[in-house]
Structure 1
């Protein structure tokens, strides 16, 4: 360890406190101890450590409850949870809540050292500069996320960005990249839900055309192309099981073997992932590997929906308008106050992306320099009839198609999968994605 840092240990097992305290002091840390969550909070009123290590199971206030209390008063202070009850459920709860790490007792020395080093890096002075200029906010909910992002941006760790569709997950990923030491290297985006499995495999891991060292060799996979930089995996929950296993190996070994090659290539990529779906549920249904989840979810950034940050809506609307003005040289200069009030009160199921779409429509339809409340109200009232995005149209087609083939085969999944040109496993995944039950079509042929 190159710096002396203060760590607060919290555990109702006094003997463990003494043993772990001795170990950490021998590593050069300053250590304080508390035998309960209440005692820890009282100590934190007077002191600021760089890290809190807390037991999960404690009488009175458990480790997760302590973490939540800490985050209210000490935003960004990393907390690592320890427990002798090393179940997946505990790990999921701790990770989902946003704690920095999870250690199982008896605590492995190397795992402890690695976790502490990563946590202390979060506590170091944050990246300076105009790193978040694209992430406009006045919202306390969003400010807390940005504070966490500010601390983890310089670290070479994986981040899972969650939040509803349209909340700005890709923009957050690019912001993390721009604020990292990798900012002068490639930033690549790969959508795991928009490609067939063979094409996704080639796009992610690369492939070979011709001889390995010949002029026709092609290693265009994202893990290779993005070397030195950052790779964002959008809709990571859609990654097929076989490719999940390949990705886990590539991340663990820091190398990848392109399809058709006898040689592996070293990788040096920071992997960020994004999803709007419930990853914990995906693991429970065995659709996503638990070990890969924890590899990708070293830190979770959970973006709030736009309706949870209404104070940001006028700010974002004006920002989008200014961007459009610079791009299109329009004569539209602003919003009427009543128009902004209408925007702030709208539900925004499509989040920031929907707001941007509305501003673009308003600018195109405006007949005066100021966008009126009447114009905004008209667009909002017709929002449910807006032209769908490509992903929305594709999803609707899939639902209609699946219903059609199931009606034709009276719910026979094997026959339906054959008509669709898919294997049974892929077909069941499609049904699950759209919430369709094959049994409901029994005896209901066309």
Structure 2
């Protein structure tokens, strides 16, 4: 069997067309070439199919009632940046082709299409999407342990954006691993050989943050006994990670915006600017959309930083990773403290997996460290684990964290109960559809992910 046939046999294609006859014909032709096909008759049903099983490529008609092909492409990109999409249309025109290409579709064919050309485009698009990360191997993500599908999806998106120079904004709760993710993006990027520099914008007093970021010259202020390169200069040629960017004071937001626009910094007390070449990765646990609306974060800076937004899942969203992470932490800490501890009892592990984890991976590490330090047996018992969980300060959620967690879990229960039917879920919650969609958006939930498989093949 040749390479093309191998690729076809392993390729899952989602076909989308509002004409059932054309859809059936296209499916027959692709199946005859060895592709595994699934069919949807609308953009909306295609999104539901994506939620149940990820294909390797989407082939969609352009003109469809409701959600058209380009709208479907935009929705696919929001869910999965690496999933290629090919657009077919009987209404081919230069403006439509330009618009489709500008948005980043993998291919564009007019009807009646040539089957051989379509198959060639599918193979080419899948080969590019699947082979882009192979040369670099997996070393770029070696510090991130996971067996979770939602985390794998996040890493897949991170790997895709790493190859470009765009600014990346990572949103997610405290302790979820935003800095680890930023380091992984840097390692997977063309800048990997240059420095990765991180700073927590909320942990440094305002009067010192400007000097730390942009540097200062000797005599610029009391205590400035020598010239000091700021972090922008220290990260020259590499990546600068601005953690908790939502805590940056307003005056510094203006100066940071100027640096990003002009690509040069002026150290405190200096009369001349210095060119800088850095890739910006930023992160926060705060809701920057709300901060923008309230005037606490500059809208122009937001759009400079948030060219691509990635949302890192909380530990509660990737519970299948808890045993993996806990065992990894246990082995590392047992070696550090020279303790004869090698595993958790089944009951202790059950407690770990079912805990709320408002402090995420950072809290998990703290709890495991407590149990390793206090354990007198090779197996950590449930009693010791319960003591660590109850005594851990991070186990007591703030009112805001508890309300946010309740809201999210409540919405998930509703969507599971109604199988993703927003109208039914909104009625049960006694909220109108607009407000319910706003709640889903706030918690980064997609109703389509809870719909059952369409059954269209």
The alignment's TM-score, normalised by the length of structure 2, stands at: 0.61
Match of 2:190 in 1: 181
Q: Displacement, 1:139?
A: 1.2
- Deviations 1:87-109 (Å, cap 9, x if unpaired)? xxxxxxxxxxxxxxxxxxx99x9
Q: 2:359 aligns with which of 347, 350, 356?
A: 350
Q: 1:170 aligns with which of 168, 179, 192?
A: 179
**Which segment drifts farther, 139-148 or 239-248?**
239-248
Does the C-alpha gap of structure 1 residues 54 and 150 become closer, same or farther in structure 2, counting only changes over 3 Å?
Answer: farther
C-alpha distance in structure 2 between counterparts of 1:246 and 1:267, whole Å: 14
In the alignment, structure 2 segments of 5+ residues that lack a partner are 1-15, 17-41, 86-94, 106-124, 398-457
DSSP-derived class of the 1:309 partner: helix
Match of 1:419 in 2: none
Match of 1:237 in 2: 246
Q: 2:371 aligns with which of 327, 345, 362?
A: 362
Q: Displacement, 1:300?
A: 1.2
Match of 1:22 in 2: none
DSSP-derived class of the 1:287 partner: coil
Q: Contact 2:171–2:284 at 8 Å: present in 1 too? A: yes
C-alpha distance in structure 1 between counterparts of 2:246 and 2:179, whole Å: 15
- Deviations 1:367-388 (Å, cap 9, x if unpaired)? 1011111111122223348899
Q: Contact 2:230–2:267 at 8 Å: present in 1 too? A: yes
Match of 2:317 in 1: 308
C-alpha distance in structure 1 between counterparts of 2:228 and 2:215, whole Å: 5
DSSP-derived class of the 2:283 partner: strand
In the alignment, structure 1 segments of 5+ residues that lack a partner are 1-9, 11-35, 80-105, 389-446
Match of 1:60 in 2: 66
Does the C-alpha gap of structure 1 residues 191 and 322 become closer, same or farther in structure 2, counting only changes over 3 Å?
Answer: same
C-alpha distance in structure 2 between counterparts of 1:202 and 1:224, whole Å: 12
Q: Displacement, 1:184?
A: 2.2
C-alpha distance in structure 1 between counterparts of 2:45 and 2:55, whole Å: 12
* Root mean square deviation, CA, Å: 4.2
Matched, 1:125 2:144: no
**Which segment drifts farther, 240-249 or 308-317?**
240-249
C-alpha distance in structure 1 between counterparts of 2:226 and 2:389, whole Å: 52
Match of 2:347 in 1: 338
Q: Contact 1:71–1:77 at 8 Å: present in 2 too? A: no
C-alpha distance in structure 2 between counterparts of 1:52 and 1:158, whole Å: 30
DSSP-derived class of the 1:232 partner: strand
Match of 1:103 in 2: none
C-alpha distance in structure 1 between counterparts of 2:230 and 2:174, whole Å: 26
C-alpha distance in structure 1 between counterparts of 2:213 and 2:61, whole Å: 37
Q: Contact 2:358–2:395 at 8 Å: present in 1 too? A: no
Q: Displacement, 1:76?
A: 2.0
**Higher relative contact order, structure no. (Cα contacts within 8 Å, ≥ 6 residues apart):** 2
Match of 1:376 in 2: 385
Match of 1:77 in 2: 83
The alignment's TM-score, normalised by the length of structure 1, stands at: 0.62
C-alpha distance in structure 2 between counterparts of 1:305 and 1:355, whole Å: 12
Q: 1:218 aligns with which of 227, 231, 235?
A: 227
Does the C-alpha gap of structure 1 residues 38 and 367 become closer, same or farther in structure 2, counting only changes over 3 Å?
Answer: closer
Counting matched residue pairs gives: 323
C-alpha distance in structure 2 between counterparts of 1:299 and 1:385, whole Å: 31
Does the C-alpha gap of structure 1 residues 239 and 52 become closer, same or farther in structure 2, counting only changes over 3 Å?
Answer: farther
Does the C-alpha gap of structure 1 residues 364 and 199 become closer, same or farther in structure 2, counting only changes over 3 Å?
Answer: same
